[in-house]
Structure 1
């Protein structure tokens, strides 16, 4: 499993309410993204926003963060996003009462 943390600085015209409204509007669009397990839409009072994505494979993540998605981010926020990739070793999921331990993947070669 791969976690990607994507961040960008919000321009002054996009405040808390506008960011929240936009995220609520686009959240359903991520239901059909290839390899995406989940996305957390994040905002901080310091003016940064973005997403924490869980991916099945690094290839799916890297393919998604190019083309139309990247162009849309640059157009809306006026900057390329900061993207950090992490290989997930384990997950404690208290809502399901489950702990998952992951085997080493090919991702260790690219991190």
Structure 2
């Protein structure tokens, strides 16, 4: 499993409510994306940084999303350029399912 973390500094801080409204407006974009298992939108406590934590089947599938067009979409929506950092996730603890998974 691959985890991709995206982040971008916002031109001005936003509130939790503003973030929720903005994130909900883009959420449909990420539904039914091949290989994407889950996306968590994230906002720093001070409201100055936003991004996402994405769980992917593979890095190859993740890289299909993070194109120049995606970067332009983020730039247009939030007024800043995103970073993308990839991590391998060989073990996951799921407290809801009360299981430990290996990949």
Q: Quick check: TM above 0.5?
A: yes
More divergent stretch after superposition (49-58 vs 76-85): 76-85
Query: Which deviations, in whole Å up to 9, do the C-alpha atoms of 1:61-94 show, x marking residues without a partner?
Result: 1110004321111122233211110000100001
Structure 1, gaps ≥5 residues long:
103-111
Provide the rounded CA distance (Å) in 2 between the counterparts of 1:84 and 1:41: 15
Instruction: Compare CA radii of gyration and give the structure with the larger one.
Output: 1
Structure 2, gaps ≥5 residues long:
none
- The number of residues matched between the two structures is 101
Q: In the superposition, relative to structure 1, how do residues 76 and 29 fare at CA in structure 2: closer, same or farther (>3 Å)?
A: closer
CA root-mean-square deviation: 1.4
More divergent stretch after superposition (67-76 vs 31-40): 67-76
2:25 alignment partner, SS class: helix
Provide the rounded CA distance (Å) in 1 between the counterparts of 2:32 and 2:73: 18
Runs of 4+ displaced beyond 6 Å: none
Q: Counterparts of 1:94-109 in structure 2 under 5 Å?
A: 94-102=95-103
Deviation at 1:27, TM superposition (A): 1.8
Residue equivalent to 1:36: 36
Deviation at 1:41, TM superposition (A): 0.5
**TM, length-normalised to structure 1:** 0.82
Q: Counterparts of 1:13-92 in structure 2 under 5 Å?
A: 15-16=14-15, 17-46=17-46, 47-92=48-93
